[in-house]
A and B are shown apart, each in its own frame.
Chain A
Amino acid sequence: MSQTSKISSVQKSVQPDIEDMRKMHVVVVGHVDHGKSTFVGRLLHETDSLPNGKLEQVRKNCAAEGMEFEYAFLLDALLEEQEQNITIDTTRIFFRTTKRAYAIIDAPGHKEFLKNMVTGAASASAALLLIDANEGVMDQSRRHAFLLSLLGVKQLVVLVNKMDLIKHDQSTYEKIKVEYTAFLKSLGLTAVHFIPIAAKHGENVVQRSDKMSWWKGPTVAEALDNFNHEDDLTGLPLRMPVSDIYRFDHRRIIAGRVEAGAIRPGDELIFQPGGRRSTVRTFEDWPGPSREVAGTGDSANFSLSEQIFVERGQVAAHPNQQPRVGREFRARIFWLGKEPLQPNKTYRLRLLTQNVEAVIAKIEKITDASSLESIEASTVPRDTICEVIVRATRPIAFDLHSECAITGRFALEDKGRINGGGIILDSISEKTSGEGKVTAAERTARAGHSPAVIWFTGLSGSGKSTIAELVERRLFDAGKKVFRVDGDDLRTALNRDLGFSATDRAESVRRASAVAGLFANAGHIALVTLIAPLAADRAKARAALANHAFIEVFVDAPLEVCESRDVKGLYAKARRGEIPEFTGISSPYEAPEAPEVHIRTDKLSTTQAVELVINALDKILQSKAEDWEV
């Protein structure tokens, strides 16, 4: 190797100024031997995209071996060099026209075909599909189009290749065009053009062919330049999945990429699922000044005028154009997993930044991706396509694929590995009728979570209600069924007849636990805020609620702190002797020995306290969900 590589001596420009700097990804597909390699080789040559000396080298190699030179060899030589030992993957080949740069995605034909086609073609804005004029439409011509429709590649040009072999005959070309147009239509696809070409001779690739004067349409290069990037969804309803919430300094910043539509300061946003609304205050761009609008493809970061609970996974939309919210939908899925897709098994469903558990409730149809024939099976094998009912364990925000592709498709993950993807065909509204008694499982399914009782105990003024209210808000906004059973509220109605004697206190704890039990039976997360000073009473409550998830939260603040807060003026009264048997002053408080959550409100912020409770709840509900086989 020379110590110094020459740069400035190279005369030929390979990166001329082009109009559109964005690289367009184009996938090239078609039946085996219909001329993909020859076409790509020819295209590279004619757009002057080959490395120096490559063409001459391959010509020389061919001559040395006594073989006729073919453009396909050129591609093979390039690929061999590019790939070294890495053969099993999508290959990218770059070329450019005067308009813009392109990356050709060559989906290899054989092994792991579907996985590679999906990875390659899912990022393509357009597809070129080759059909041999001599052989006509074959198996793979059909299956590739089917996959393109599934992956949402809408811009398609069909190249009717090897026109030289049929003497450039227009009627054969027309026959293929009619037949294949009808097939594409059945998939909901339309080809922009059917271009007659002879790739081997470069006819209608970049140069127009004088042997097909009947063809008035564009060359392949012209057709490519007429494609659009097709990802400008600025005109569609706003969809911005929340990536994260940043609190690096005093600001609280919502971060997420705008997948469709646009956001401006002053916009009212609704976050689904959950349905909380707030207004965009301003973008928070570094290093500034902050932008005035974030459109499709922009990674936005903004603060809200009113602080509401927002979490990763929620989708921000404008209130008049919201996504659907539901747990169940019909989908067409491609499956890439080594293990078959199984009904009633739990998978992770990932839709934009949403990540929830889901089961395949029903398999309606399985199709072989290669033959397009139906398969009879109870599970879905690798490399097949199926139509299924998907049921998530909690509500998600989505659109139908036909309405907004980007929010209408999802991936399925199993053991940390993405094993399939799908598009949403129909939403299924919640089941409204069943048979017999409504069961706890049905209520849990409707709520999307198991019920639970969270019992906040602690001195008066320790902060039980404050924390419980914030926890309730968080859960409510996250779409959970939740209700607070507050000691003070009970006292004015249900417990009107009770005083503060030990017996009456025991009775009040018993009644509170009974009420909480009813709410939990109804499918709610009940938040009880009651001093419940005696350990024995609390133990009885816990036992009475044994069939529900139960979390004891000890809201712990030293007596002097509670007394100094004295929100209700009760300590002052108790000190004056106006309240007999006041807990902490004239009546004992037995601190819990092993609460599930212990909050020192004099040491933690309310936000941290809420976090502790939510984490404990998540953990216990998670374990319940695992017990509960859907």
Chain B
Amino acid sequence: MSRNAQNDHLTRLEQTSIHIFREAFANFRSVCMPWSMGKDSNVLIWLARKAFCGKIPFPLLHIDTTYEFPEMYEFREKAKEIHGIDLIVRINEDAIRRGIGYATHDPVTVTHELKTVPLKAAIDEFKWDALVTGIRRDEDPTRAKERWFSPRSAEGVWDYKDQPPEFWGQFASTAPEGGHVRVQPLLEWTELDIWEYIRRENIPNPTLYFARNGKRFRSLGCHPITHPVDSPASNIDEVIEELKLTRVSERAGRAQDHVGRNSMQALRAKGFM
């Protein structure tokens, strides 16, 4: 018997995510999918291709902070080719001219200037009313509260205190005036699910996730503020075995989350993914 949503955990997650993609595409005028090139983002591409029978019918967006690992730029070109992606790349040139950077500024400021600001600018430029993101409830406490379809105001603000109800497969499918809706197909996935699915479907990913000299990256961001973890896991099987044993948070190596007690929440309320 073949795999289906009833007899297989990963297939169920996959089929649900595909449904979310389709509902977003049917409900919104103009959809875009920001692409970080990280593992969750790459799973999203795969799911979108499944949802739309091979070819993603909307553009992807890479907000280039200019602080990506060199391997990531190589991976970007390769993946673009493999998946036949229509890719838009944006850099906040103005902030870079103003000298915003990790050498001189704190991570929260840099993340805001180099990620959130150009994201907002791109939304204004292209008038997208839906953005597909790869966030998961298990990543971070503030993300645990998220909805499948999560409205953002014109300023990009997330009103987490008054979220729309979501039940029986009915989502908030109208963007607020001037704002957009974040569509989050991976909400119910865990880090372990992501890797097991990558293994099953053989989805291309950067090799930075696998150990070199006893260290690997578990989560990828800007290189000055992204730290590897001690790990001998040098291939997917070993990563999966390792994740089954860990109690350390996935984003522990991402500095901007840990600057202040509520830094992640502050970032997210202002429009960060």
A residues adjacent to B (C-beta < 8 A):
1, 3-17, 20-23, 51-52, 81-86, 88-92, 94, 115, 118-119, 122-123, 151, 232, 234, 243-244, 246, 248, 251, 253, 255-257, 284-287, 291-299, 301, 312, 336, 350, 352-353, 406, 409-411, 413, 416-418, 421
Contacts A4-B215, A297-B12, A336-B165 given; indicate if A286 touches B4 (C-beta within 8 A).
Answer: no
Show 13 residue pairs from A and B whose CB-CB distance is below 8 angstroms, ordered by the A residue: A7-B245, A8-B230, A22-B12, A52-B247, A86-B265, A89-B160, A286-B54, A291-B4, A295-B5, A299-B51, A301-B53, A411-B168, A413-B170
Contact between A4 and B229 (Cβ–Cβ < 8 Å)? Answer: yes
Q: How far is the CA of A618 from the CA of B61 in the complex (A)?
A: 34
With both chains docked as a complex, state the minimum distance between the C-beta of A55 and any C-beta of chain B, in angstroms.
14
The complex places the Cα of A84 from the Cα of B263 at a distance, in Å, of: 10
Quick one: closest B residue to A289, CB to CB?
Answer: B2
Q: A4-B229, A7-B230 are in contact. Are A243 and B5 (CB under 8 A)?
A: no
Q: What is B's interface to A at a CB cutoff of 8 Å?
A: 2, 4-6, 9-10, 12, 15-16, 18-19, 22-23, 25-26, 49-55, 57, 137-138, 141-142, 144-145, 160-170, 172, 174, 176, 188, 192, 215, 218, 227-232, 242-248, 252-253, 255, 258, 261-262, 265
Is B232's CB under 8 angstroms from A243's CB? no
Which residues of A lie under 8 Å from residue B160 when comparing CB positions?
Answer: 86, 89
A286 to nearest B CB, angstroms?
Answer: 4
Task: Give the residue among B162, B244, B246 with the most A Cβ atoms within 10 A.
Answer: B246
Q: Are A15 and B245 in contact (CB under 8 A)?
A: yes
Enumerate the 5 nearest inter-chain pairs by beta-carbon distance, A residue then B residue, closest first. A297-B5, A416-B174, A21-B9, A122-B167, A411-B170
Q: Which residues of A lie under 8 Å from residue B19 when comparing CB positions?
A: 243, 257, 299
A88 (CB) vs chain B CBs: closest residue: B161
Q: Chain B's nearest CB lies how many Å from the CB of A98?
A: 14
Identify the closest chain A residue to B144 (Cβ). A92
Residues of B within 8 A of A115 (CB): 165
| Docked CA distance A256–B142 (Å) | 31
Cross-chain contact A82 with B230 (CB below 8 angstroms): no
Cβ of B73 to closest chain A Cβ, rounded Å: 24
Which listed residue, A10, A21, A83, A248, touches B52 by the CB 8 Å rule?
A248
Q: Which residue of A lies closest to B264 (CB)?
A: A84
CA distance A3 to B230 in the complex (A): 10
**Alpha-carbon gap, A81 to B138, bound state (A):** 14
- Chain A min CB distance to B50 (Å): 6
Q: Pick the contact of B163 from A89, A243, A353 — CB < 8 Å?
A: A89
With beta carbons under 8 angstroms apart, the residue of B10, B53, B170, B258 that contacts A246 is B53
Known contacts A6-B230, A85-B265, A243-B23; A417/B2 CB under 8 A? no
With A and B bound together, what is the CA distance between A460 and B62 in angstroms?
Answer: 54
- Do A22 and B172 have beta carbons less than 8 Å apart? no
Please name the residue on chain B nearest to A6 by beta carbon: B230
Is the CB–CB distance between A5 and B229 below 8 Å? Answer: yes
B271 to chain A, nearest CB (A): 16
Q: Which of B15, B165, B255, B265 contacts A257 (CB 8 A)?
A: B15
**In the assembled complex, which residues on chain A have CB atoms less than 8 Å from the CB atom of B170?**
350, 411, 413, 418, 421
Query: Are B4 and A122 within 8 A (Cβ)?
Result: no
Question: Which residues of chain B are near A353, meaning CB under 8 Å?
Answer: 23, 26
Tell me if B6 and A234 are in contact (CB < 8 A).
Answer: yes
A421 contacts B168, C-beta separation under 8 Å:
yes
Q: Which residue of B lies closest to A259 (CB)?
A: B169
A92 and B244 within 8 A (CB): no
A287 to chain B, nearest CB (A): 7
- Distance of A118 Cα from B147 Cα, bound (Å): 13
Q: Given A13-B245, A119-B166, A291-B2, are A22 and B9 also a contact pair (CB < 8 Å)?
A: yes
Q: A1 to nearest B CB, angstroms? A: 5
User: Across the interface, which residues of A come within 8 angstroms of B6, CB to CB?
Assistant: 232, 234, 295-297
Chain B residues near A244 (CB-CB < 8 A): 22, 25-26
Q: Do the beta carbons of B18 and A312 come within 8 Å of each other?
A: no
Q: Out of A88, A297, A406, name the residue touching B4 (CB < 8 Å).
A: A297
**How far, in Å, is A399 (CB) from chain B's closest CB?**
14
Contact A122 B168 (CB under 8 A): yes
The distance in angstroms between the C-alpha atoms of A82 and B249, with both chains bound, is: 13
Chain B proximity of A474: nearest CB distance (Å)? 18
Q: Which residue on A lies nearest to B57, using beta carbons?
A: A248
B145:A10 contact, CB within 8 angstroms = no
B22–A299 contact, CB under 8 A? Answer: yes
Task: Give B137's nearest chain A residue, CB to CB.
Answer: A92
Given A23-B188, A418-B164, are A84 and B54 also a contact pair (CB < 8 Å)? no
> Which chain A residue lies CB-closest to B228?
A4
The one of B9, B145, B253 that contacts A89, using a Cβ cutoff of 8 Å:
B145
A352 to B171, CA, bound (A): 10
Query: Please, which residues of chain A bring their CB within 8 A of the CB of B166?
Result: 119, 418
* Contacting pair B248 A6 (CB below 8 A): yes
Q: How far is the CB of B151 from chain A (nearest CB, A)?
A: 9
Are B174 and A86 interface neighbours, CB within 8 A? no
Judging by beta carbons under 8 Å apart, are B258 and A86 in contact?
no
Question: Which residues from chain A contact B53 at a C-beta distance below 8 Å?
Answer: 246, 248, 251, 253, 284-286, 301
Task: Judge whether A14 and B247 touch: CB under 8 Å.
Answer: yes
Residues A418 and B231 in contact, CB atoms below 8 Å apart: no
B76, chain A: closest CB distance, angstroms: 22
Q: Which residues of B contact A336 (CB under 8 A)?
A: 165
> Closest CB of chain A to B254's CB: distance in Å?
10
Contacts of B161 on A, CB cut-off 8 Å?
A: 86, 88
**Residue of A8, A298, A418 touching B172 (CB-CB under 8 A):** A418
Query: With A84-B262, A85-B265, A86-B161 known to touch, is A286 a contact of B49 (CB < 8 Å)?
Result: yes
A5–B244 touching, CB < 8 Å: no
B2 proximity list for chain A (CB < 8 A): 291-293
Closest to A350 in B: B170
Contact B167 A4 (CB under 8 A): no
User: Do residues A286 and B50 form an inter-chain contact, with CB atoms below 8 A?
Assistant: yes
B18:A352 contact, CB within 8 angstroms: no
Complex Cα distance, B57 from A122, in Å, reads 32
B247:A51 contact, CB within 8 angstroms:
yes
Picked from A15, A16, A84, A255, the residue with its CB within 8 Å of the CB of B141 is A84
- Are A119 and B167 in contact, CB atoms less than 8 angstroms apart? yes
A6 contacts across to B, CB distance below 8 A: 229-230, 248
Instruction: Report the separation of the CA atoms of residues A86 and B144 in the bound assembly, to the nearest whole angstrom.
Output: 10
For the complex formed, measure the closest distance between the CB of B54 and the CB atoms of chain A, giving whole angstroms: 4
A161 to chain B, nearest CB (A): 27
Given contacts A15-B192, A285-B53, A297-B5, 11 further A-B contacts (CB under 8 A): A3-B227, A7-B230, A14-B246, A85-B265, A88-B161, A243-B22, A244-B22, A244-B25, A406-B168, A416-B176, A418-B170
A86 CB to closest chain B CB (Å) equals 5
Interfacial chain B residues near A20, Cβ < 8 Å = 9
Residue in A23, A118, A298, A350 whose CB lies within 8 Å of B5: A298
What residues on B are CB-neighbors of A119 within 8 Å?
165-167
Interfacial chain A residues near B176, Cβ < 8 Å: 416
Q: Nearest Cβ distance between residue A283 and chain B, in whole angstroms? A: 10
Chain A nearest CB, measured from B52 CB (Å): 7
